[in-house]
């Protein structure tokens, strides 16, 4: 490679990102979290009226600060999901869909163990009507598109898509990752188990109530995770060994591939413009062609490197179904057997200080926070807050809907991410679909 090429390569965005990533991995302190932390033990998360918030102020005061908050008053553009309180409505709309339902062994057991059974959604709804409290509908498998990217919703939620927006106005420019329904029937309360999610969560309770116990990402090393911790990004995004991502949750190879593709497109346009200028006899056109060709060669090398890295990952993967665009080996924040993001501390120990002292003493050094989200209320929970959720149902169960968003690492409401990776991904898929629909 020539000296000029080397200089351009060293100055490239990909080189800078690689050096930053290397520095973070080698850091002696692997927790870089800089967001809001729970100020005292047994802290109560405040409840505020959503009518006092604009998307801009919500981003500034809570999303950017990485601060959980309970909202009352409802979302003006997510009102049609109130129809879901009627089980008969759900049955008529999507009853024939097949779903995977979590099953616990007994009423004294928690969910989140990865035990699932397959059935029709209609059959599950009948269980809820009959008062069954051992089954719980949580995250569902999503399909991948032709490019290997996971869909935004499972077939179940796609069947209900006309009832809700893909991007609630309150969340501004955050890019959604997944949308789910949570449905069960536990009058005496059922625990989810202590765990964290990988994405920002907007959790809307429609029936029953949810009691949350929370811990800030600053206390990740006290949570006794099943996965081996690699690092915590400044925005709270947790990485385990073998699952490294950017702070905004993109797989490193996918991120590099997207950057290389953008550089290639840019270089090709520069070359086309320079060739047109040469035909028109403009000065410096030949020099511009040579510069564009150098940049295109560098971009093509980067594209090839990204493709080779992907091929190596596929060869090493034990589960190729999950080698998809975005979060490596993870389609959604789905509960599987002994997942990395679950704590080893069982739910029945969380209120037993003596047993915690004996077996998991470090968790007692972490400040806990609590909130109860009633029907009609919403919890905003930033990515990687460890939480246990206890669900309490009414006579016909408990029901919630949640949006997961890729965790932001940017500096402003207009640009919540440090790169345009997720914005471009969303635009490529959904804006093109809108154009096709309007053309028809």
State the pLDDT at residue 440: 47
Mind listing the pLDDT tens digit for each residue in 195-230?
999 999 999 999 999 999 999 999 999 999 999 999
Residues 156, 209: one domain? yes
Q: How many domains does the chain have?
A: 2
Winning range, highest mean pLDDT, from 123-137, 263-277, 327-341, 349-363:
349-363
Please state the pTM of the whole predicted model. 0.79
Distance of alpha carbon 396 from alpha carbon 87, whole angstroms: 9
State the pLDDT at residue 148: 67
Residues 405, 282: one domain? no
Residues 217, 257: one domain? no
Residues 205, 290: one domain? no
Residues 226, 313: one domain? no
State the pLDDT at residue 259: 65
Of 436, 341, 423, nearest to 176 (Cα)?
423
The answer to whether residue 423 is domain-embedded is: no
The answer to whether residue 296 is domain-embedded is: yes
Mean pLDDT of 370-381: 97
Residues 314, 173: one domain? no
Residues 291, 163: one domain? no
- Higher pLDDT, residue 151 or 58: 58
Query: Whole domain around residue 314: which residue ranges?
Result: 3-26+252-320
State the pLDDT at residue 8: 42
Of 307, 122, 340, 93, nearest to 238 (Cα)?
340
Mind listing the pLDDT tens digit for each residue in 397-437?
889 999 999 999 998 999 999 999 899 889 887 765 444 44
The answer to whether residue 191 is domain-embedded is: yes
Q: Is the pLDDT of residue 275 over 70?
A: yes
The answer to whether residue 246 is domain-embedded is: no
The answer to whether residue 425 is domain-embedded is: no
For the domain that residue 136 is a member of, what is the CATH number? Answer: 2.60.120.10
Indicate the length of the chain as a whole number.
Answer: 440
Using an 8 Å Cβ cutoff, are 225 and 204 in contact?
no
Find the helix or strand (DSSP H, E) in which 137 lies: strand 135-137
Residues 259, 399: one domain? no
Average pLDDT, the chain: 81
The answer to whether residue 349 is domain-embedded is: yes
Distance of alpha carbon 432 from alpha carbon 209, whole angstroms: 39
The answer to whether residue 373 is domain-embedded is: yes
The answer to whether residue 330 is domain-embedded is: no
Residues 90, 217: one domain? yes
């Amino acid at each position: 490679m020539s000296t000029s090429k080397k200089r351009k390569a060293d100055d490239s965005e990909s080189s800078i990102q690689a050096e930053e990533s290397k520095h973070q991995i080698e850091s002696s302190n692997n927790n870089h979290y800089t967001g809001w932390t729970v100020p005292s033990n047994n802290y109560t998360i405040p409840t505020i009226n959503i009518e006092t918030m604009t998307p801009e102020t919500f981003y500034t005061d809570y999303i950017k600060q990485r601060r959980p908050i309970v909202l009352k008053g409802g979302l003006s553009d997510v009102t049609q999901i109130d129809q879901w309180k009627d089980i008969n409505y759900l049955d008529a709309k999507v009853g024939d869909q097949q779903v995977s339902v979590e099953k616990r062994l007994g009423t004294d057991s928690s969910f989140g163990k990865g035990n699932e059974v397959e059935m029709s959604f209609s059959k599950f709804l009948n269980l809820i009507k009959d008062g069954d409290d051992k089954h719980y509908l949580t995250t569902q498998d999503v399909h991948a598109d032709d490019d290997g990217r996971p869909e935004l919703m499972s077939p179940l939620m796609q069947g209900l898509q006309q009832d809700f927006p893909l991007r609630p106005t309150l969340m501004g420019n955050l890019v959604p990752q997944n949308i789910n329904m949570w449905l069960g029937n536990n009058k005496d309360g059922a625990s989810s188990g202590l765990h964290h999610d990988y994405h920002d969560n907007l959790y809307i309770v429609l029936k029953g109530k949810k009691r949350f116990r929370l811990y800030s990402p600053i206390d990740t090393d006290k949570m006794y995770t099943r996965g081996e911790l690699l690092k915590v990004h400044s925005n709270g995004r947790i990485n385990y060994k073998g699952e490294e991502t950017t702070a905004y949750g993109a797989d490193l190879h996918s991120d590099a591939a997207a950057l290389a593709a953008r550089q290639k497109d840019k270089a090709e346009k520069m070359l086309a413009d320079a060739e047109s200028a040469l035909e028109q006899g403009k000065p410096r056109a030949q020099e511009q062609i040579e510069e564009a060709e150098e940049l295109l060669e560098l971009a093509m090398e980067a594209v090839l490197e990204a493709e080779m890295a992907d091929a190596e990952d596929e060869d090493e993967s034990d589960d190729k179904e999950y080698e998809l665009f975005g979060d490596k080996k993870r389609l959604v924040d789905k509960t599987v057997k002994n997942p990395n993001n679950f704590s080893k501390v069982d739910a029945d120990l969380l209120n037993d200080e003596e047993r915690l002292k004996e077996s998991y003493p470090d968790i007692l050094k972490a400040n806990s926070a609590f909130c109860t989200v009633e029907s009609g209320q919403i919890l905003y929970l930033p990515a990687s807050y460890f939480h246990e959720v206890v669900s309490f149902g009414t006579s016909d169960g408990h029901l919630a809907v949640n949006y997961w968003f890729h965790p932001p690492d940017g500096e402003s409401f207009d640009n919540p991410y440090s790169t345009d990776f997720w914005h471009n991904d969303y635009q490529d898929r959904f804006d093109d679909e809108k154009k096709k629909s309007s053309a028809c």
